[in-house]
């Protein structure tokens, strides 16, 4: 290529770039604006609670505007819990799938940016042809010859109405969507692990409680057999106590099954099979109920919950798609250039006389497409309306979840307070009735009743206590989990 042609193509590309910069302000379609947060000051009707009542010797305080730590589960004061969650971050397959989806969207975005650059192509053709002069009205015989063509071409699309820019904007919003999906997956994973470990520890305690009841049942059955042999009680007493023993023993297998299910679930969450995963045992005594719970203001919740932010990113993408569909209604402009060599002899291909070139522009304007483009734009507008409704619903669901959890913690404290009192009373009643029965001043019906009451109170206390722990976990999850305060999660979404 000679110097004049080189300079010409250089000036052409410079002009294209300048035009695109000038036309950047011609982008059609709406510019995305983040929706305003709901104008409410509290999550519940009236004022939000500031603290729960004391239960089992502890009340929980809600700190308005308090900062949520990214590793919020450390507030449960178990180093073993931290080990399990770190294991899950490494091995959880759902999290890995979300990360792969994020990487794919980032690669799609990088690919989308290519539209802003000139498109260069090169080709080489080698053909053997036969011409037919008869097509030109000549009677001379045709000739057979070789044709070799080496050519480079460049094209540059002028994004006059911003359709390409809106398409890239939509791709960027999809990256944001997938990033928040990773954060949401991480939040759900950590919440599920903590909840499962709490349930597992509670099942172990329930199993211990039932085993203690069974031990007492056996002791009472032995005493009753001795009394029957001495002729002081009827044999029906012995049968009744053995029946109670069998009934209490029957409650153990379901509890053990639930305990096994928690172990299998934890293995799955950490990316292992149940056969190969050895979970560090976390007992009930290893867990501490957090007494200070940070509370995010309602106006801040919509800027930190991953599901709301993902819905917002989807709304942004839908907004950009309107611009893409609108730009399709207008003409498109493309500048083209080509330069090459063509000759019927390969040895003469690079001679000056073999050079070919072309420079031109293309304008394509849609005239009639049977309503395809118009209704495509209408569909994009309705897609935006759908995404807007989904976003608003996500906000409503989030506010309702926080409100539910706040009131649940209040009710958990009330329930645990009552269950704690019932446990204390039934335990004392059982002790007295057992002493009276051994002394012969109480009958077996009184023992059975006291035994059953204590059993139910013990199980009820453990269930209420576990529910209070799990609703505390639910509050951290409902508030977004503090992902914005952690460097570790930033690494999960940074590639």
Contact 340, 150 (CB under 8 A): yes
Sequence-ordered strand ranges (E) for 297-412: 332-343, 355-364
Residue 57 has pLDDT above 80, yes or no: yes
Render pLDDT for 416-475 as a digit per residue (tens, 0 to 9).
999 999 999 998 998 999 899 888 888 766 877 787 788 889 889 999 999 999 999 999
Residue 1 has pLDDT above 60, yes or no: no
The b/e string for 81-117 (b: 16+ C-beta within 10 A; e otherwise) is beebbebbbebbeebeebbebbeebbeebeebeeeee
CA distance 196 to 469: 11
pLDDT over 70 for what percent of the chain? Answer: 92
Side-chain half-sphere CA neighbours of 107 within 13 A: 6
What's the pLDDT at 442? 83
Mean pLDDT of 177-184: 96
Residue 244 has pLDDT above 80, yes or no: yes
What's the pLDDT at 25? 54
CA distance 77 to 94: 27
User: Which element (helix H / strand E) includes 243?
Assistant: helix 235-250
CA distance 311 to 476: 20
pLDDT over 90 for what percent of the chain? Answer: 62
Select the more confidently predicted residue: 79 or 321. 321
**Rg for the chain (alpha carbons), in Å?**
37
| Token duo for residue 307 | 């599901």
Residue spans of alpha helices (H) in 251-355: 252-269, 298-301, 306-327
Sequence-ordered strand ranges (E) for 316-469: 332-343, 355-364
| Token duo for residue 184 | 């949401």
DSSP assignment, residue 41? S
Contact 337, 358 (CB under 8 A): yes
What's the pLDDT at 348? 86
287 Cβ neighbours under 8 A, 6+ residues apart: 76, 77, 78, 81, 197, 198, 201, 469
Residue 4 has pLDDT above 80, yes or no: no
What's the pLDDT at 215? 86
Residue 189: pLDDT band with limits 50, 70, 90: very high
What's the pLDDT at 340? 93
Residue 203 has pLDDT above 50, yes or no: yes
Mean pLDDT of 317-345: 94
Residue 19: pLDDT band with limits 50, 70, 90: low
What's the pLDDT at 487? 65
Dihedral sign for Cα atoms in the order 238, 239, 244, 250? positive
CA distance 143 to 130: 6
> ∠ CA(480), CA(481), CA(485), 5° rounding?
105
User: CB-based burial of residue 215 (10 Å sphere; 0-12 exposed, 13-18 middle, 19+ buried)?
Assistant: exposed
CA distance 319 to 332: 21
Highest mean pLDDT among 12-26, 61-75, 376-390: 376-390
Render pLDDT for 142-170 as a digit per residue (tens, 0 to 9).
788 899 999 999 999 999 899 999 999 99
Contact 61, 291 (CB under 8 A): yes
What's the pLDDT at 18? 52
User: What is the distance in angstroms between the CA of the first residue and the CA of the last residue of the chain?
Assistant: 42
pTM of the model: 0.86
What's the pLDDT at 483? 86
Contact 312, 391 (CB under 8 A): yes
Residue 8: pLDDT band with limits 50, 70, 90: very low
Phi then psi for residue 157, to 5 deg, are -85, 125
Residue 311 has pLDDT above 50, yes or no: yes
Dihedral sign for Cα atoms in the order 129, 135, 137, 141? positive
User: 30-117+160-333+369-492: which CATH topology?
Assistant: Outer membrane efflux proteins (OEP) (1.20.1600)
Contact 315, 177 (CB under 8 A): no
Q: What mean pLDDT is reported for the chain?
A: 89
Render pLDDT for 68-91 as a digit per residue (tens, 0 to 9).
999 999 999 988 898 899 899 999
| Token duo for residue 357 | 């070139």
295 Cβ neighbours under 8 A, 6+ residues apart: 48, 62, 63, 64, 65, 66, 479
> Which of 290, 304, 365 shows the shortest CA–CA distance to 332?
365
Render pLDDT for 352-387 as a digit per residue (tens, 0 to 9).
888 999 999 999 999 999 999 999 999 999 999 999
Render pLDDT for 393-425 as a digit per residue (tens, 0 to 9).
999 999 999 999 999 999 999 999 999 999 999
Of 32-46, 224-238, 280-294, 361-375, give the lowest mean pLDDT range: 224-238
What's the pLDDT at 143? 83
């Amino acid at each position: 290529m000679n110097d004049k042609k080189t300079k010409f193509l250089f000036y052409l590309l410079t002009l294209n770039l300048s035009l695109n910069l000038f036309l950047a302000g011609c982008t059609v379609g709406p510019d995305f604006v983040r929706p305003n947060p709901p104008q409410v000051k509290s999550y519940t009707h009236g004022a939000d609670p500031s603290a729960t009542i004391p239960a089992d010797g502890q009340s929980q305080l809600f700190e308005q505007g308090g900062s949520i730590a990214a590793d919020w589960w450390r507030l449960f004061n178990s180093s073993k819990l931290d080990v399990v969650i770190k294991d899950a971050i490494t091995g959880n397959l759902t999290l890995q799938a979300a990360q792969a989806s994020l990487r794919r969207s980032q690669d799609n975005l990088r690919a989308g940016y290519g539209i802003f650059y000139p498109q260069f192509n090169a080709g080489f053709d080698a053909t053997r042809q036969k011409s037919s002069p008869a097509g030109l009205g000549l009677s001379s015989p045709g000739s057979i010859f070789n044709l070799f063509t080496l050519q480079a071409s460049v094209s540059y699309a002028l994004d006059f109405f911003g359709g390409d820019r809106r398409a890239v904007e939509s791709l960027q919003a999809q990256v944001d969507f997938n990033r928040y999906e990773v954060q949401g997956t991480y939040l759900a994973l950590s919440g599920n692990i903590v909840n499962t470990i709490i349930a597992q520890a509670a099942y172990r305690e329930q199993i211990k409680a039932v085993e203690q009841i069974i031990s007492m049942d056996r002791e009472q059955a032995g005493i009753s057999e001795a009394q029957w042999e001495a002729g002081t009680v009827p044999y029906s007493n012995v049968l009744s106590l053995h029946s109670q023993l069998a009934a209490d023993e029957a409650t153990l297998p379901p509890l053990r099954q639930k305990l096994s299910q928690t172990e299998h679930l934890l293995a799955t969450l950490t990316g292992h099979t149940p056969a190969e995963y050895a979970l560090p045992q976390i007992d009930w005594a290893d867990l501490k109920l957090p007494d200070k719970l940070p509370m995010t203001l309602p106006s801040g919740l919509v800027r930190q919950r991953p599901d709301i932010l993902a819905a917002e990113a989807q709304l942004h993408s839908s907004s950009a798609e309107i611009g893409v569909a609108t730009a399709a209604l207008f003409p498109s402009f493309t500048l083209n250039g080509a330069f090459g060599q063509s000759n019927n002899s390969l040895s003469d291909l690079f001679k000056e006389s073999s050079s070919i070139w072309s420079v031109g522009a293309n304008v394509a304007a849609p005239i009639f497409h049977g309503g395809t483009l118009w209704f495509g734009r209408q569909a994009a507008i309705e897609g935006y309306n759908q995404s807007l409704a989904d976003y608003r619903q996500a906000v409503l669901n989030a506010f309702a979840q926080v409100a539910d959890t706040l009131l649940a913690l209040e009710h958990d404290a009330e329930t645990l307070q009552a269950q704690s009192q019932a446990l204390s009373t039934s335990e004392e009643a059982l002790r007295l009735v057992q002493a009276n029965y051994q002394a012969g001043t109480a009958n077996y019906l009184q023992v059975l009743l006291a035994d059953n009451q204590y059993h139910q109170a013990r199980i009820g206390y453990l269930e209420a206590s576990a529910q209070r722990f799990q609703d505390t976990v639910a509050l951290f999850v409902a508030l977004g989990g503090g992902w914005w305060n952690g460097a570790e999660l930033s690494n999960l979404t940074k590639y």
